[in-house]
Amino acid sequence: MPNEGYENPLCKRYASAEMQRIFSDDYKFSTWRKLWIALAESQKELGLDISSEQIDEMKANVNNINYETAAAYESEIRHDVMAHIKAFGDQCPKAKPVIHLGATSCYVGDNTDIIVQRSALLRVKRLLITAVSALYNFADKYKSLPCLAYTHFQAAQPTTAGKRASLWIQDLLFDLEQLDFSLGSLKLLGCKGTTGTCASFLSLFDGDHEKVKSLDIKIAEKMGFDKVYPVSGQTYSRKIDYYSLSVLSGIAQSAYKFSNDIRLLSHLKEIEEPFETGQVGSSAMAYKRNPMRSERIASLARYVTTNALNPALTASAQWFERTLDDSANRRIAIPEAFLAIDAILMLMINVAGGLVVYPKIIEKHLNEELPFMATENILMHCVKKGGDRQALHERIRLHSIEASKKIKLNGEENDLLDRITQDKAFAVTHDELNNLLRAEQFTGRAKEQTEEFLADVKKVLDENKEFLGADIKILV
């Protein structure tokens, strides 16, 4: 039965169950409860009258979230955090008096947002490393396969298929550097209070500043962080969200570039994304093999790239120590950015791991252009044999113009080499020209560059081997 209401396609069609779990209500509200427990434990350790029995009661109900009770409270009091405090208190009558003691809503809300973003970024890192690995294998396999390179999508000096893939990998490594920096920079908000001054906690601890400072650190350690932001308003700076989504935007840009290259190569019939046995490319044109996975990457990547504007505007629009015009925007922009990049990277892994290469078509396209690219080599060869450089240059220019006309106007094959061998001024044979036109002579250091680069990539993969092997599932 179809759902009568709107369903987010990022959840229904694109993102993984794992990323959806990270942004689920269960993950969110169980983390709220873990934060309340960490607060109570830390307060107890610092001398407040909180019993082990109260803490054990809270721990017993971490994942036993009474959603209906919380919803009923929220419909009455119109405050989600207070609703869940009351619902948790109903399950923990002994602990009820100390739940959320001294804290403000952002204690659970903002700290949970940081924890969720860290979990989501770790998922993204696993996908990113796996994508790099898939492209590493492709680049290594085809590092020596000559192919036409393009500038302005016009034929230029040849490269190799593996060297081209190294450009895709390098972009992802740039993204990995930014992701690692963002992950390493994440800190917990801690317990800063209503305006970030810790006034309520200072009152609880009878003016003991050292205990209040220790409370921050203890909570962070219990939640898996070694640092807290030293100053804040009621919330952590919304620039943190911008930094996280900027990382995702960077990955989206890299994936977009990759997908565009695959779409162009598919048009050229040189390299195609995987195509299932029973897959239909077009409802009308049965022969078509549309690059729909790459197109989906491009489509989602546009969304992620533009979505990075949301936290930028939110961060700049905050008033003094707290304003609530961030909340609704963040509830949508942050989860959807992560869900979309999750889908993008799963698609990228799938495409990169199943690319189909057609060497004969690649060779055909290369041979169509090599005669023009080899004209300087031909000229130098014939000059060494005693020819007049200036005169031969003019002859090659004229022959190139005529050969181009026949190709463009009549759709004929490139006959430049025939023209040169038939021109007595050059005194050159087809065998000599064929030797000059060996494709590997025109790819420069493409193979060597790829080998050297992949050696460095291998080090990165080895350093991050625990992130290799992300489970992916895509609907095509």
Q: Give the whole-angstrom CA distance, residue 136 versus residue 352.
A: 9
Q: Is the CB of residue 145 less than 8 Å from the CB of residue 357?
A: yes
Provide the 10 A C-beta neighbour count for residue 466: 8
Q: Give the whole-angstrom CA distance, residue 41 versus residue 48.
A: 9
| DSSP string across 209-261 | HHHHHHHHHHHHHHTT-S-B-S--SSS--THHHHHHHHHHHHHHHHHHHHHHH
Q: Give the whole-angstrom CA distance, residue 225 versus residue 464.
A: 21
To the query of whether residue 100 is one of the catalytic residues in this protein, the response is no
Query: DSSP assignment, residue 157?
Result: E
* Phi, psi of 6, deg, nearest 5: -70, 140
* Phi, psi of 119, deg, nearest 5: -60, -40
Q: Which of 51, 185, 203, 282 is catalytic?
A: 282
* Phi, psi of 99, deg, nearest 5: -70, 130
Residue given tokens 């107890």 in the structure block: 44
Write the CA distances from 433 to 118, 334, 370, 381, 436, integer angstroms.
60, 60, 11, 9, 5
To the query of whether residue 79 is one of the catalytic residues in this protein, the response is no
Active site residues: 152, 282
